[in-house]
């Protein structure tokens, strides 16, 4: 029986993926190469340092650890500038209504994000107080598809793994959920989420009881 939700942030609650892409692209362009939208898909849910490692390898660029960290910090500054312009308007369709239904039904919810900027983003969009627990890039060591972020989420909610339902927009995130022994809803395109237990384009007009009946 499902007793709680574990929400990914980027791509589920807000679409910060476009900001990540713009900032990574700016960095890649300064280094003299391009990253495609398709390649960017493979970075979703992946931590900042794992992302930069993949991007540099993709561009055939080899840098010292110090220089890599410097570039990741610069990318984050560009990214945070965009995040700081965000408002409640950036919450993706149906999310606020779904959260209201979760709260009203007494289910628990936690955030399970790879982002170190998660608390800042939740503050910007006014959802910070709604979560019973926040597990993010500041508290996990291993990137999705490792299940660490969701195992910690279940623990923080005091629930068994199988009592948690994960909501993800990334293939790697669904893999992480399954590795944690949890079912996962994929939000987005079917082609990127073939491993999800249920795929929805968005939560617009979603009724919580009908959704839970599917699990
Ligand atoms: P930051 P999620 C992930 O968020 C993003 O999908 C991924 O593109 C990003 O690199 C990662 O957070 C780290 O973000 O640089 O802000 O720490 O999808 O797990 O909510
Ligand atoms: Mg995501």
Give the CA radius of gyration of the chain: 17
Nearest residue (CA) to ligand 1, atom 13: 115
What's the pLDDT score for residue 191?
85
What's the pLDDT score for residue 189?
87
Ligand 1 within 6 A of 16 CB? no
What's the pLDDT score for residue 143?
87
Ligand 1 within 6 A of 25 CB? no
What's the pLDDT score for residue 203?
97
What pLDDT, in 10s, does the model give residues 80-131? 999 999 999 999 999 999 999 999 999 999 999 999 999 999 999 999 999 9
What's the pLDDT score for residue 4?
98
Ligand 1 within 6 A of 75 CB? no
What's the pLDDT score for residue 111?
98
Residue closest to 43 by CA, chosen among 192, 187, 179, 170: 170
Q: Which of 115, 146, 149, 173 to mutate to test the pocket of ligand 1 (most atoms within 8 A of CB)?
A: 115
- Distance between Cα 67 and ligand 1 center (Å): 21
| Catalytic-residue membership of 10 | yes
What's the pLDDT score for residue 41?
87
What pLDDT, in 10s, does the model give residues 179-207? 999 999 999 988 889 999 999 999 999 99
Whole-prediction pTM value?
0.93
DSSP per position, 117-160: THHHHHHHHT-GGG-SEEE-TTT-SS-TTSTHHHHHHHHHHT--
What is the residue-averaged pLDDT of the chain?
Answer: 96
What pLDDT, in 10s, does the model give residues 38-79? 999 889 889 999 999 999 999 999 999 999 999 999 999 999
Q: What is the mean pLDDT of residues 166-189?
A: 96
- Distance between Cα 87 and ligand 1 center (Å): 18
Q: What is the mean pLDDT of residues 148-164?
A: 98
Residue closest to 12 by CA, chosen among 166, 144, 181, 183: 166
Calculate the alpha carbon distances from 48 to 45, 66, 95, 100, 190 in Å: 9, 15, 25, 31, 25
What's the pLDDT score for residue 192?
84
Nearest residue (CA) to ligand 1, atom 12: 115
What's the pLDDT score for residue 136?
96
């Amino acid at each position: 029986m499902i007793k709680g939700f574990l929400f990914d942030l980027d791509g589920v609650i807000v679409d910060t993926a476009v900001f990540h892409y713009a900032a990574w692209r700016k960095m890649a362009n300064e280094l003299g190469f391009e990253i495609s939208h398709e390649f960017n898909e493979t970075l979703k849910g992946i931590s900042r340092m794992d992302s930069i490692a993949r991007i540099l390898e993709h561009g055939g660029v080899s840098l010292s650890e110090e220089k890599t960290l410097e570039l990741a910090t610069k990318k984050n500054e560009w990214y945070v500038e965009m995040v700081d312009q965000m408002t409640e308007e950036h919450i993706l369709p149906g999310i606020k209504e779904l959260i209201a239904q979760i709260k009203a039904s007494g289910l628990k919810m936690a955030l399970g994000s790879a982002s170190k900027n998660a608390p800042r983003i939740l503050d910007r969009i006014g959802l910070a107080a709604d979560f019973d627990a926040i597990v993010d890039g500041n508290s996990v060591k291993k990137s999705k598809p490792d299940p660490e972020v969701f195992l910690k989420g279940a623990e923080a909610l005091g629930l068994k793994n199988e009592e948690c339902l994960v909501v993800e927009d990334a293939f790697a995130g669904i893999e992480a959920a399954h590795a944690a022994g949890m079912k996962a809803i994929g939000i987005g395109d079917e082609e990127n989420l073939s491993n999800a237990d249920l795929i929805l384009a968005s939560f617009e007009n979603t009724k919580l009881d009908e959704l839970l009946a599917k699990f």
